Amino acid sequence: MADDIQPEDSKLTITKRKWAGEGKFLTGRVSRPETERLPPGQHLVKNWPVLDLGQQPRISTSQWKLDVRGLVNHPKTFDWAAFQALPQSEMRSDIHCVTTWSRYDNNWKGVSTRDFLDAVDPKDEAVAVMLTSYDGYTTNLLLSDFASPDAIIVHSWEGQPLTEEHGGPVRLVVPHLYFWKSAKWLHRIEFLDRDSAGFWENNGYHMRGDPWSEERYSDD
């Protein structure tokens, strides 16, 4: 559904492209995750702010599908029952948004990416993934980041089904990267032999997005 995105018409896209050009929010400080919980330039919030491209696709669990394609030995299409049949995990982690807010101690339930990788079995030449959402949004991840121990494909937050505004019924959560990498309304995962830019990465944002190194924007 990539045709649904109209980035030139999105106020958020125009604003964030301007931020990237100006280097807005950059502090130049570097902290280390083992010694500082809050990355440089971030501030704590108690709520969970909502940022999107102006659309919130409404996908019921009966309609939802997750296509897995590319460099995997077991390409699959998961429906809700098949996804729920995978090993289920509970994790607690922090959120760090590139727009400078962070939220501590979020409780998730879903499928750890490591269990997910066991089910689809990436080929040796796979080094990255491209995530595609139901609204057409895309973002890239190195396979090593996707497979991190605290990464999880979630359907629940704080003991309740993940709401539509926060990416339900299913989204990715990769806590050690800025939250734009944790795609909402997850619809497709493609395994690739090279890293390739997604939506925000093509609009001036960093290819990886490490909060502790302030990888907010591209160096190009």
pLDDT tens digit sequence for 173-190: 999 999 999 999 999 999
Half-sphere exposure of 12 (CA within 13 A, CB side): 12
- Structural domains in the chain, CATH included, are 62-205 (3.90.420.10)
pLDDT, position 1:
38
Mean pLDDT of the chain: 90
pLDDT tens digit string along 101-119? 999 999 999 999 999 999 9
Question: What pTM value is reported for the model?
Answer: 0.87
pLDDT tens digit string along 67-79? 999 999 999 999 9
Q: CA angle, corner 46, sides to 22 and 52, nearest 5?
A: 50
- With a cut of 70, say whether residue 39 has pLDDT above it: yes
Position 39, amino acid: P
Higher-pLDDT residue of 67 and 220 is: 67
Closest CA to 171 of 39, 50, 3, 71: 50
- The DSSP 8-state label assigned to residue 159 in this structure reads T
pLDDT, position 137:
94
Cα–Cα distance for residue pair 158/92, rounded to 1 Å? 10
pLDDT tens digit string along 123-139? 999 999 999 999 999 99
Beta partners for 110?
89, 154
- With a cut of 80, say whether residue 29 has pLDDT above it: no
Closest CA to 152 of 123, 109, 194: 109
pLDDT, position 176:
97
